[in-house]
């Protein structure tokens, strides 16, 4: 990995995208999410955020990411579009392998399970056991 010495900002969290070539960082004070080429040390993409962030989690396919802070926010990685948001402090994120559930821990000493709206993922709803 290249050393980015000129990047002298607080970075609360880093997360690899599933391809292993790209890395997501969130800039605490600059209010940006950045995607980097790990091997070249170059910034590939950035998108602004409204408030300082804490944790970042990436879906298993790398198409969505979730950030924590004053809100729990779901972003589309390709264009930085904000897809879903919940107001409330959240930290320590994890996304389920299917990308439809987020776990968060917060300052309330609880673990929260968030079922994200399926329409965001363009995936069909599973058939009910009672449906023929």
pLDDT digits (tens, 9 = 90+) for 53-110: 678 889 988 889 888 877 888 888 888 888 888 887 777 889 999 888 998 887 778 8
Read off the pTM. 0.74
For every residue of 2-70, DSSP letters joined together read ---TT--S----EEE-TTSSEEEEEETTTTEEEEEETTTTEEEEEEE-SS----EEE-TTSSEEEE-EE
Return the CATH architecture of domain 14-117.
Answer: 6 Propeller (2.120)
Q: Please choose, from the candidates 50, 79, 82, 55, the residue with its C-alpha nearest in 3D space to the C-alpha of residue 67.
A: 55
Task: Please state, in angstroms and rounded to a whole number, the distance separating the CA atoms of residues 49 and 125.
Answer: 31
CA dihedral (87, 14, 76, 109) positive or negative: negative
Of residues 86 and 122, more confidence is placed in 86
The domain limits of the chain are 14-117
pLDDT at site 52 = 63
The torsion of the CA quartet 33, 120, 99, 115, rounded to 10 degrees, works out to 110
Q: Which two structure tokens, joined as six digits, stand for 1?
A: 């990995």
Structure tokens at 47: 């998108």
């Amino acid at each position: 990995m290249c050393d980015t010495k000129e990047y002298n900002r607080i970075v609360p969290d880093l997360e690899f995208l599933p391809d292993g070539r790209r890395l997501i960082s969130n800039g605490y004070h600059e209010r940006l999410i950045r995607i980097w080429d790990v091997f070249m040390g170059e910034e590939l993409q950035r998108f602004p955020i409204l408030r300082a962030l804490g944790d970042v989690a990436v879906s298993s396919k790398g198409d969505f990411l979730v950030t924590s802070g004053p809100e729990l926010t779901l972003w589309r990685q390709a264009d930085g579009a904000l897809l879903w948001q919940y107001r409330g402090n959240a930290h320590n994120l994890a996304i389920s392998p299917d990308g439809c559930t987020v776990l968060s821990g917060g300052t309330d000493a609880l673990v929260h399970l968030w079922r994200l709206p399926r329409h965001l993922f363009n995936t069909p709803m599973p058939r009910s056991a009672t449906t023929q």
